[in-house]
Structure 1
Amino acid sequence: MATAAFSDEVSGDSLECSICCYTFKNPKVLPCLHTFCEHCLREWVQKNDGDTFLCPICRQPVPLPQDGVEGLKDNVFLARLVKAVTEHHKIRQGKDVLLCTSCDEGKPATSRCSECAEFLCESCESAHRLVRATKGHTLFTFEELKTGKYDKVFRARTAPPCSKHSGEILKLYCRTCETPICNECALFEHRDSQHDFARIEEVAAEKRETILALTPQCQARMQFFCETEGVQKRLKEQLQLNAEGARQNVQKTVQTLIALVKEEGERLLTCVDTEEKSRRKQIDAGIEAAQISLASAKSTCEFAETLAREGGDYEVVSFSQDMTSRLNDLTKPPADTVDFELANITVDYSVMEHKLTTNSPKSAQYSLPTPMERELCSLLKCALQNRTSSRTGLPDLKPSGPRVSGNVSRKVHGK
């Protein structure tokens, strides 16, 4: 069975920035171990104000160094991996010319040194084989590398040079300071007895063992998070169902109340119409009586004025007694007064209030079904039980007491 090529094993999402979706360029790693291109992070940070910003993936707050994004830690591992994969791809494809990295003459490279990770032209290759410091190095031609048999040379990592001492390689690790150091660092800055340092490959072996020991715990937690995600999605679905049920309940209750109010409204309108009709008859009777009295008074006054002006002595004397009596009656206060209460209409809502009280909607609760809650709790418990006894830090779940799954029920006023 053929073994996958080195570039095929590590290429893909692991080498792509999740912001720009292109291969990493000058990758910067955050404290949460998520990595992004430097220019992508710079644009991301510009959208945030303050001394911190949120990781684009996990949203954890990240302190911004004084010199900005540039001060964030370089992901040297991914940068070298991208470089190695890119070089391996170019050699296997043979489309791009790789230049010699050992000289400045710009000549095309013909081989690669396994120990130095340098591409060499023919001249530098000859010199590499002669110089005492490098003559024992293993060189591979491009034709040999194209076969894929020597992909391990691309996996090799050379120790970086010390930034404090020129020409020195970081071959040691100070456990006290938790930093790689070179021989010069060990002789001067880390020479007292308080500093505990060892060869970097020994420390790396210990660190690898620790990392690999913690990985299964992380995988167990991943399973728990996977189950939690599934449970949350189930909760979301149930919430949608409950919300839809609540909406239907509200609509039905509102329609019932509207029908009840309309029915009582029609009855009250009928009462108003009846009361208006009765009072209108009384007012019309008063108007008619006033009109009759007005006509009578008018005719009496007109007759009295005509009699006094045009009548003879005998005629005036003959009518004087009746006329005087009639005129005196008209000067007296009227016996009937206007009833102003006839214009008032009272609407009695007591019956409607009683009906609304009697038919008042009760609170409706749409909750997570108990069987489903038990099922979801069981799923999370199983995920917890899959951990070893050393895996701690995840919450305990209990069917009673506060619900781990959350309460998606909401009390709404409905019938």
Structure 2
Amino acid sequence: MYECQYVLKSVIIVRMATAGLEKKVKDNFLTCSICLEMYTDPCTLKCDHTFCRKCVTSYIQTRPDAVQSKTIPCPCCRQDTKVPHPRRPVEEWAGQIKPSIILQGLIETYRSEVAVQGTSSTCCTICQQLGETTPGALWCAECEVALCDKCVKIHRVTPNSLNHDLCDLSSRSKVKRRIKCTEHKSNRVEFHCQDCGKAACQTCCIIYHRACKTVVTIESMKPGMKAALMEKRLGMEKRLKVRSKKVDIRNEKLESSSRITESAVQNIRLICQTAINKIKQKETQLLDELNTISQTYADQLQADVKLEEIEMQMYRQHCVFIDHALVSDCEMDLYDAYQAWESGAVEMEDVRDTEAADTRRIAEIRFIPNTFRVLKTLDKLQFGKIGVTYQGTCLLSPVLVDTIDVRVESDKMSPVLRCITVLAVDDIQTCVVTDCYNNCLKSLYIRDNHPCHSKLPLDNSPFGMTQLKQKQVMVAVPESRQIVTVEVTP
């Protein structure tokens, strides 16, 4: 007797301690700080604070600044969390936050433990109505009440509940669920009217479904319902497989696109690096050439300077000799100096215009950028068109290189040229001119180091001309009101 009381007291103390610990765990770790209730679909922000997903959605809608900045501010620490897909509606922003799987598992475990403890400590429903707290022993699925030992005896001898099935409280969730009619509380829903498509109890069948042709029991519909549900499930599985296959295909395409993009980025970087290396190599080469030319010219200038200094020293010595003879009282000194000059012992050279000569030499050192080759090389590297702009004063001066005699032996008079165009035909620089006086079009070129020419007679005097293609030009003949297309073939 005393041992039983001691055990009962120990169980009560343990339960009280466990209940206090469970309350602390629930309040401190499983309760949302916005709604102050246990988490419902918990989600964790970037700052590791967790809230109910619906609470986060409601909080975002109260913050216009968050909607404008497309971020989710934490209600606790105000730290912002970026929305992965901000173009979607604001109501779906919270759905993009990662769920807290650990907290969700703790909540489910806590609720199951509470349910088990609530089940094991369920009191008798009838005794509670009488103001007593008697532990329940069995569960009546028909009446949905918990019964103690005394009430069980009464329940089994009562005519209305004589045939009710009783089970343990721990297994009451496994008992077959029986639905009662909403209109006739004491009757269970056991029939289904296929004509009306409604479930009904026995009384409803007698009152409302007497004229219906097909009224069957729900029990007899079980095989058909199972078959239909199995068919639905198979259809869902097929759709699931199709969707899964589409997702896999799209993921493969996404990975392939990512690989292609990465490869393209690497190729672009490789091409750019190659171009940079070539440009730097060309820069080094040009600088070396410039240094060589500059050093050669500087050495030449230094040699000229030394030569000029030697000549200057010689001239100074002769000047001193002449000055000494001029101030000497001896006639022979003056005569000797005069005779040395007359005999050619001292040669007087013309003073050279060194400044003009140096200017010409400096002007000869020119760096002419071959922009055409540079642009062609860059175009081969697929960089597109690159504009070259020169700012400031041009360092190059126009220099006459060559002249071409456009007179032809058959022409009786000198031609009158209206327009001139230069073509590159088969790598031959061809000069095309319009001869208005002789009513013809002429082409002049050099082949094998010999000047050559050709002539195309026209009906009237040509006026303007422009290049149409690589080997073709268009010529305007105003008097004939024509535009002639001519193909140039040296």
TM bin (shorter chain): 0.3 to 0.5
Q: Which has the higher contact order (CA 8 A, sep 6+)?
A: 1
Which one has a larger percent helix, Structure 1 or Structure 2?
A: 1
TM-score scaled to structure 2, two decimals?
0.36
Larger radius of gyration: 2
Which one has a larger percent strand, Structure 1 or Structure 2?
A: 2
TM-score scaled to structure 1, two decimals?
0.41
